[in-house]
Structure 1
Amino acid sequence: MSATTVLTEKWPVLGRHEQAAAWLSVWTDLGRAPRTIDAYSRGLAEYLLMCEREGIDPVAANRAHITVYVRELASRPHYRGANVFSIDSGAGLANATIQQRLVPVRLFYDFLLEEGLRESNPVGRGRYTPGRRAGGQQRGLVPRLTKLPWIPGEHEWLRILEVARQEPIRNRVMLALAYDAALRREELCSLRTDDVDPAHRTLRIRAETTKNRLERVVPYSASTGVLLSTYLAHRATVSRARGPLFLSESRRNYAQPLSLWTWSKVVRRIALASDVLRFSTHTTRHLCLTDLARMGWELHAIATFAGHRHTDSTLQYIHLSGRDLAEKLKAGMDHIHSWRVQMIAEVDVPKGAKGGTSR
């Protein structure tokens, strides 16, 4: 059974639209990551379902039809609230999620353009256009909001650690590696036994498991090394076979590779137990990269460690707290203050003023 057939069975609406199925087939044949194909399929399926409800021919849709889809995404019920006042009101889909949902729709119309079935892309993208006002920048369909990543404060992190100490050894070593090596969820869950080099305390992050297909080697700390050694001894009681590093110990999937969703459930359980609800599988990555910045690492070094192709991505992860910025400002102001006082003290005394008194 082909991957496209599996996807059309999961989302039947894709099979009802010939061009959508053809587009997915092309992306699958190009060897895109299964999770990428799955996300694209879901996004396009949601759009096509909207088209069917509204009686819109997706091949002939225009920009007004796309805005109907955007409005639906912005007003969709969300676990954080029932009412939507704006795209970023805390209810409805988040701005970043809406951007992600529009990506497969835009790529679908790019495909239709290449096939000669359309003359323009109704989704479009923000791009530079010579001759336009405001610097020639054309806005995208949805304004992109760039926020600083959230990281836990000291007391929140201590509560997380207190709960994590009660977790099984597998979960504890996964949490330690996720922070130590700033690993993404898929990178962590995809680690294999031969990716670990205990002698040099390094991990090989294989290209096929990364977001941008860049392989890298990252170190982990001595403390994590001790924890990892304990886990490897425990893992041998579950399975002695080489392969995935982290194995399920549930009765249903015993000794099978640990899934992404199982790890997400573990992290969510820790978040609820510690009452730090914003803690997620990506928080440890945010925190690690931020700590590296606080220690004075250069931007390019952090980018290499994180596996970023461009430093622009790294800047989004580096989140310096207000206290850090206040300390930097205070140090700068102290220097400026000292300089100004010194300049005042060094002002030449006017001639004839020595020894004189004012009357």
Structure 2
Amino acid sequence: MPQRGPVDLNEAVEEFGRHLRAERGVSPHTLRAYLGDLTDLSAYAADVGVTDPADLDVSLLRAWLARQHALGRARATLARRTAAVRAFTHHLHRRGLLQDDPGLLLGTPKKRRDLPGVLNQDDAARLLDTMDTEGPMGLRDLAVLEVLYGTGVRVSELCGLDIDDVDTGRRTIRVLGKGDRERTVPVGEPALRAVQDWLRAGRPAVATEISGPALFLGARGGRLHPTSARRIVHSRISEAGQMPDLSPHGLRHTAATHLLEGGADLRSVQEILGHASLQTTQLYTHVSAERLKRVHRQAHPRAARDDQAP
């Protein structure tokens, strides 16, 4: 049996962070979220006199989660914090720092999946066809929105693109997604044209010695950061006016919705979006219900039709 090391909870959290970084390959966003959750747990435990990992029990964990609920944390936040605790206690148990795993006894708050709004096809066309593309940043912003909408990639995937990831001949981009999974995504002519215009007349005016191979650059020449990409999307949608204010994820959702409305099958959309599970892709199908009803009315012999007599 592994020997218990002389660590307190804070040290155990730091060690768990190193484990996540080195062995689990979690995303930087998930790592920050989990460590923030567990740091909060450690502070709560210290307030009630618990500093040794061996003293963690299900009563303390439930009390901490109940406090989060009382503070008004969102259901999604509670679900994530429960997942963080379960991963942490499982790790401590495997290392021999906990005799039993109290995380196994925690219930999971049901997470409501609130999908973002979407642009209809006319709004998407108006947003992209009327955007002010003056100057290098204008060319960049159009290319950013065209690629987000045209491919459905995540904002982190967009910012991670290098110039060589774009294959204009095959009309595809190579994307490094979650869990370092690589996929090839088709890209349409408008997005390719916007990228080529940015590479020809925009990027050279911004690039510096720190730019490296990055496809999209910030104003100072470094690789475009996801926060800046989000700001670009919000700003450009606001300029267009009279349409929902969306984030980059909203454009991803819009892309998936329009693919399904156009007749794409779920498996193909799953591959394009890089979802590990088809269940995740199925969340997007609710917006296509009207299309399915129209198909049913037109195709099924027993469906009610407007031109039928009552």
Q: TM-score range by the shorter chain?
A: 0.7 to 0.9
Q: Which residue number in structure 2 is paired with residue 323 of structure 1?
A: 290
Check 1:58–1:204 CA distance in 2 against 1; reply closer, same or farther (3 A cut): same
Structure 2 gaps of 5+ residues are 1-6
Check 1:256–1:223 CA distance in 2 against 1; reply closer, same or farther (3 A cut): same
Contact 2:148 2:158 in 1 (8 A): yes
| SS at 1:335 equivalent | coil
Deviations 1:13-47 (A, max 9, x none): x9862222222222233262444333322221122
| 2:80 pairs with 1:100 | yes
Contact 2:10 2:39 in 1 (8 A): no
| 1:55, distance to aligned residue in structure 2 (A) | 3.9
Deviations 1:147-195 (A, max 9, x none): 4553234676577558854672211111110111110011001111111
| SS at 1:236 equivalent | helix
Q: Which amino acid aligns with 1:64?
A: S
C-alpha distance in structure 1 between counterparts of 2:47 and 2:268, whole Å: 50
Check 1:181–1:154 CA distance in 2 against 1; reply closer, same or farther (3 A cut): closer
Q: Which residue number in structure 2 is paired with residue 266 of structure 1?
A: 232
| 2:142 pairs with 1:142 | no
C-alpha distance in structure 2 between counterparts of 1:65 and 1:176, whole Å: 49
Q: Which amino acid aligns with 1:293?
A: L
C-alpha distance in structure 2 between counterparts of 1:257 and 1:24, whole Å: 26
Q: Which has the larger radius of gyration?
A: 1
Contact 1:124 1:141 in 2 (8 A): no
Contact 1:48 1:58 in 2 (8 A): no
C-alpha distance in structure 2 between counterparts of 1:174 and 1:332, whole Å: 39
Bigger mean CA offset, 19-28 vs 169-178: 19-28
C-alpha distance in structure 2 between counterparts of 1:57 and 1:246, whole Å: 46
Deviations 1:260-310 (A, max 9, x none): 221122233345554756511201111111211112222211111111222
Q: Which residue number in structure 2 is paired with residue 237 of structure 1?
A: 205
| 1:246, distance to aligned residue in structure 2 (A) | 0.9
Check 1:237–1:148 CA distance in 2 against 1; reply closer, same or farther (3 A cut): closer
C-alpha distance in structure 1 between counterparts of 2:236 and 2:105, whole Å: 39
C-alpha distance in structure 1 between counterparts of 2:126 and 2:52, whole Å: 50
Q: Which residue number in structure 2 is paired with residue 221 of structure 1?
A: 188
C-alpha distance in structure 2 between counterparts of 1:164 and 1:110, whole Å: 51
Structure 1 gaps of 5+ residues are 1-13, 77-91, 127-139, 342-359
Count, aligned residues: 291
Which of the numbers 160, 164, 177 marks the counterpart of 1:190?
Answer: 160
C-alpha distance in structure 1 between counterparts of 2:290 and 2:132, whole Å: 28
| SS at 2:173 equivalent | strand
| 1:198, distance to aligned residue in structure 2 (A) | 1.7
C-alpha distance in structure 1 between counterparts of 2:40 and 2:165, whole Å: 38
| SS at 2:32 equivalent | helix
C-alpha distance in structure 2 between counterparts of 1:102 and 1:243, whole Å: 39
Contact 1:286 1:318 in 2 (8 A): no
% identical equivalent positions: 23
Q: Which residue number in structure 2 is paired with residue 301 of structure 1?
A: 268
Which of the numbers 96, 102, 113 marks the counterpart of 2:93?
Answer: 113
Q: Which amino acid aligns with 2:68?
A: L
Q: Which residue number in structure 1 is paired with residue 35 of structure 2?
A: 41
Q: Which amino acid aligns with 2:41?
A: Y
CA RMSD of aligned residues (A): 3.2
| SS at 1:216 equivalent | strand
Contact 1:24 1:37 in 2 (8 A): yes
Contact 1:125 1:141 in 2 (8 A): no
C-alpha distance in structure 2 between counterparts of 1:189 and 1:235, whole Å: 14
**1:241-256 correspondence to structure 2 within 5 Å:** 242-249=212-219, 254-256=220-222
Greater relative CO, 1 or 2 (CA 8 Å, sep 6+): 2
Check 1:100–1:269 CA distance in 2 against 1; reply closer, same or farther (3 A cut): farther
| 1:328, distance to aligned residue in structure 2 (A) | 4.5
C-alpha distance in structure 1 between counterparts of 2:57 and 2:130, whole Å: 51
C-alpha distance in structure 1 between counterparts of 2:138 and 2:248, whole Å: 17
C-alpha distance in structure 1 between counterparts of 2:113 and 2:184, whole Å: 29
Check 1:53–1:200 CA distance in 2 against 1; reply closer, same or farther (3 A cut): same
| 2:23 pairs with 1:30 | yes
| SS at 1:205 equivalent | strand
